[in-house]
Amino acid sequence: MDSLQTAPSEATGHPVLLFGEYLADVFPGRRVPGGAPFNVACHLAAFGVRAMLVSRLGQDALGDELRSTLPHNGVDAHLLQVDSRHGSGQVDVVFTNNGHRFEIPPDQAFDHIDMLPLSRQLSDLPTPPELIYFGTLAQRNPVSRAALSSLLNNSGALRFVDLNLRPPWVDSAILQQSLAAADIVKLSEEELLITSSRLKLARTGDTPEALARRLQQQYNVRQLVVTCGAHGAWCIANQQILQVAPVTISGSAGDTVGAGDAFAAICILGHLLSWPLPQTLRRAATFAAAICSIPGAVPGQPGFHQQFQQEWLP
C-alpha cells in the first residue's frame, strides 16, 4: 500500500463503518475482490481513513482469499464475520454494448450479517464511528437488514447512503427506509428516475432536478448527489444546485466498474476533511474519471492514490 498521510478520522480515532456486501467480482477470465462497501473502504484507507468493513464471508476458500486481501488494502477487518452455513458472495460482471450489468445470486454470506457479535465488537471500540456508509443490496435479506437497522438506531454517526440499485434486488420499502435514515444520498440519474417512480414521487413533465428536490424534501436529506456518468454530476444542498463538469482522463484498458464507488469515497473524504462542497464534487469527479482509466474498481498498481494524496491531503 502507498505511504500515507494522516486524515482526521485516523488522527482522532473515529472510524468510518462501511456496511454491506463484500464479495468476488467475477469478470471474464478473472476474479477480484469487490462490492461497493469494499471498494469505498479501499479508497478511504488509501487516504489515511480508518475504514472498517462490516460484512460476512463464508467459511470457504473464497472467504479465505477475500479476507487475505484486506490487510494489503489497509482495510480494517475487525468487524468482518464468518458464516459456516452460507457461501462467500460472488457476482458476475457482464459487459454489454451499454456498459455492464451485475448478476447477483441470492442468499449469500453477506445477507446474514449478525447484529449480536457486531454489537459486542462496536461496544469495544475506543471511539464511536464518525460516519456509516451503506446501500440497498445488503438489505435484501431480513437478517442483514435488521443488523443495519440496529446499528443505525444505536449510533449518532452521519449516514451516507449510496443506493447502488441492483435489479432484481430493488424494493420500495427498503428504498424508503434507506432514504429516511440518510443524511447524504448519492445516486445515479438513472437511479433517481427509478427511485422517484418506485416511491410515486414522479409527476408528468418533471425534470431530474425537480425529482431530486422532491426526494430531498420528502426525506429531509441534507445533501443529494446525482452522478451522470460521462456528463458529470450535480448536487442539491442548502436549496441550491451545484453542477460538476465532466472530467476525462486518458488511459488504456479501462472500464466504468467502480466509478460510482470512487465518487462516493471522495465525497466522504471531503466531509471528513471539511472541504468546501464544490471542491469535494470536483475532486470526486476527477477521481472517478481516473478509476475509469484502469480496469476494475480498485487499482492494483502502487502509487495510484499517491498523486491525489500529495495534492489533496493537508
**Could you tell me if residue 302 is inside a domain?**
yes
Strand, coil or helix: 112 = helix
**Could you tell me if residue 311 is inside a domain?**
no
- Give the pLDDT confidence score for residue 269 in this predicted structure: 97
SS3 sequence of 34-79? ECHHHHHHHHHHHCCCCEEEECEEECCHHHHHHHHHHHHCCCECCC
Sign, Cα dihedral of 70, 72, 75, 79? positive
Q: Which of 242, 239, 238 is nearest to 226 (CA)?
A: 242
Each residue of 44-92: pLDDT tens digit? 999 999 999 999 999 999 999 999 999 999 999 999 999 999 999 999 8
- Give the pLDDT confidence score for residue 7 in this predicted structure: 59
- Give the pLDDT confidence score for residue 11 in this predicted structure: 46
Q: Which three cell numbers stand for residue 164?
A: 447502488
Helices (H), 107-221: 115-123, 142-153, 172-181, 189-198, 208-219
Q: Which three cell numbers stand for residue 216?
A: 430531498
Amino acid of residue 10 = E
Give the CA radius of gyration of the chain.
Answer: 18
- Give the pLDDT confidence score for residue 258 in this predicted structure: 86
**Could you tell me if residue 14 is inside a domain?**
yes
- Give the pLDDT confidence score for residue 225 in this predicted structure: 98
Q: Which of 121, 86, 126, 79 is nearest to 106 (CA)?
A: 86
Output the tens digit of pLDDT for each of the chain's 314 residues: 343 445 555 545 689 999 999 999 888 888 889 999 999 999 999 999 999 999 999 999 999 999 999 999 999 999 999 999 999 999 988 877 777 778 899 999 999 999 999 999 999 898 999 999 999 999 999 999 999 999 999 999 999 999 999 999 999 999 999 999 999 999 999 999 999 999 999 999 999 999 999 999 999 999 999 999 889 999 999 889 999 998 887 665 567 878 999 999 999 999 999 999 999 999 999 999 999 888 878 887 768 999 899 999 97
**Cβ(187)–Cβ(221) below 8 Å:** no
Under DSSP, the state recorded for 126 is S
**Could you tell me if residue 1 is inside a domain?**
no
- Give the pLDDT confidence score for residue 1 in this predicted structure: 37
**Could you tell me if residue 18 is inside a domain?**
yes
- Give the CATH number of the domain where residue 277 resides: 3.40.1190.20
46: containing domain? 8-306
**Could you tell me if residue 3 is inside a domain?**
no
Angle at 267 between CA 279 and CA 273, to 5 degrees: 70
- Give the pLDDT confidence score for residue 42 in this predicted structure: 96
**Cβ(151)–Cβ(259) below 8 Å:** no
**Could you tell me if residue 108 is inside a domain?**
yes
- Give the pLDDT confidence score for residue 251 in this predicted structure: 60
Rounded to whole angstroms, the Cα distance separating 133 from 272 reads 13
How many structural domains is the chain composed of? 1
Query: Residue 83 forms beta bridges with which residues?
Result: 58
- Give the pLDDT confidence score for residue 2 in this predicted structure: 42
- Give the pLDDT confidence score for residue 286 in this predicted structure: 95
Each residue of 290-312: pLDDT tens digit? 998 888 788 877 689 998 999 99
Angle at 152 between CA 42 and CA 233, to 5 degrees: 50
